[in-house]
Amino acid sequence: MRQTTCSLTWLKSLVALMMLAITPSYAYAVGGETRAAEFTLSNGMQVVVIPDHRAPVVTHMVWYRVGAADELRGTSGIAHFLEHLMFKSTDKIAVGDFSKIVSRLGGQDNAFTGHDATSYFQRVAKDRLPTMMEMEADRMVNLRLDEKEVLTERDVILEERRSRIDNNPASLMDEQMNAALYLNHPYGVPVIGWYHEMAKLSREDAMNFYKRYYAPNNAILVVSGDVTPEEVRTMAEATYGKIPSNPDVKPTRTRPQEPPQIAPRRMELKDPRAGNASLTRYYQAPSYVTAKPGEAEALDLMMKIAASGSTSRLYKKVVVEDRLASSASGSYSGYGLDGGTLSLYAVASEGVPLEKVEAAVDLVLADVAKNGVTDAELQRAKSGYLADYVYDSDNQASLARRYGWNLVVGRTVADVEAWPERIAKVTAEDIKRVAAQYLDTKTSVTGYLLPDQSGVAQDKTAAPVTDSVVR
C-alpha cells in the first residue's frame, strides 16, 4: 500500500435516535430503491455506479479479484510488489508519472493489497474522470517494467517490511499468530510477504502475475459521486471496453482449505522493544461470504457487545472493574473470501501477570456463550452499527470501498444494501448460539508479547496456562 477516519459522536448519536424511528430499509435505500446501479461490459468487466450529486467530485476505483492468498507458493509478496510496480510506466506514461499526473489534475490517488483483493483508486473532479479511466485502462494491459526499476522497487518493499514488520514487535506477533492460526490456507502468509521470498522476486514473477490476473473480466469498476450510470457506461465502454477479456481467467478462485482444527495453539514472543506485556487471541470464524444466513451479522454484533469500545463487557470488566489491564478490545473481521476471524487484545496493567488477564478475558467470553446478551445491549449495538452505516454512507469514498470490498469477494449489491435490515433481524438467541459455536479454543491461537531485558528477541511455544472455560 502506498496510503483516516473522524468521529462525530454527537452526529452518530443523533442518527442512532433517528434510526429507531424509521424502518431499517430506509437506512440503505430511500423508498426501497436500490442506491447503486450495476452493469457488465461486453468483455466481462463489472461496473457499479453510486450517484451522489452534492459536489462535482468522483471516486474512481478498480478492484481486481486477486490478492496475496492467490500467490504461487514461494513467491509471497508478489501481489503487493506488483501493486507498487503498477505506478511505473506504460507506452503513454513515463516512469513515476502516474501519481504526478493525478496530482496536477487536482486529484488524489493510492492503492492497496489484501489477501483477497488489490485496488487502485483516484478522487478527482468530475470532468477529470475520463482521463482517470484512460490511465487506469492503459496500465491494466500496457505495463512496462524495466529490470533496473524492478530491482529498485524490490528494495523499497524490503525496506517497507523492515520498518513496518521487523521493527515492530506487535506486527511480528500478529504475523506469527496468523501463520499458526491457518494450518493450510494461504491466509497464514503475510500480505507483504516473507522477507526471504520477497528478496528473490523478479521481473518475470511480476509480469507472470500481471498477465494472469490483470484483465477486465477479473476486475470491478466502482464509481461514486457526481455521475449517472449512463455517463459511466459511455466512458467505461470507450476505455475499459476496448480491452479484450482474458480467457485464462478462472471464474472462481480455488485455494487450499483448512483441515478440521483439533487443538488450540499458544505462543510467546519476547522482545526488548515491547512495552507492557500484552495478550492477543485469534479465532477462526466464518465470514459474510462463508457463513450461514444470519451468522455473520450475529458475530458482528456479538463482538461489538463483548469487546468493542469502552462500553463493552470486556473493557468494563478487565479495565474498569478489575483493573487488570490498561486497555482491552476485540473485533470481528468478516469480509474474507474464505473465512473470517474473531480478535481479542489486552495490555496488562503494571505488575499484573498475563495469565490473570487471560483468565478474566475467558470469563467474559464464557458468560456471553453461556448466558447470551441482554436486549438492551443488543439494541444499543444495533443502533450504533446502523448509525455508523448511515454516517459512512455520507462519504462517497467510503461508499465506493463498501461496495468494492463486498463485490470483489463475490457478494452482491443486494447483499450490501440489505445489511442494515439483516442486522436488525439478529436476536439475542442468535448471538448466544454463535458465541457458543465459534468461541472455541480448538480454532484459536493465543499469544503473549513480553518485554525482554536480555536484548535478544525470541519466540517459543508456551505451555498452556489453564484449560479455557470457553467450549
**Catalytic residue list:** 83
Q: Output phi, psi for 145, to 5 deg.
A: -125, 115
Secondary structure of the chain in HEC code, one letter for each residue: CCCCCCCCHHHHHHHHHHHHCCCHHHHCCHHHCCCCEEEECCCCCEEEEEECCCCCEEEEEEEECCCHHHCCCCCCCHHHHHHHHCCCECCCCCCCHHHHHHHHCCCEEEEEECCCCEEEEEEEEHHHHHHHHHHHHHHHHCCECCHHHHHHHHHHHHHHHHHHHHCCHHHHHHHHHHHHHCCCCHHHCCCCCCHHHHCCCCHHHHHHHHHHHCCHHHEEEEEEECCCHHHHHHHHHHCHHHCCCCCCCCCCCCCCCCCCCCCCEEEEEEECCCCCCEEEEEEEECCCCCCCCCHHHHHHHHHHHHHCCCCCHHHHHHHHHCCCEEEEEEEEECCCCCCEEEEEEEEECCCCCHHHHHHHHHHHHHHHHHHCCCHHHHHHHHHHHHHHHHHHCCCHHHHHHHHHHHHHCCCCHHHHHHHHHHHHHCCHHHHHHHHHHHCCHHHEEEEEEEECCCCCCEEECCCCCCCCCCC
Nearest residue to 133 via CA among 45, 18, 265, 16: 45
Other C-beta atoms within 10 Å of 395: how many?
16
CA count, 13 A, side-chain hemisphere, 471: 3
Q: Output phi, psi for 433, to 5 deg.
A: -65, -45
- Contact of 284 with 180, CB cutoff 8 Å: no
The three three-digit cell numbers of residue 256, written as one number: 487450499
- Contact of 293 with 359, CB cutoff 8 Å: no
- Contact of 267 with 464, CB cutoff 8 Å: no
Residue with cell 480467457: 247
Residue with cell 488450540: 264
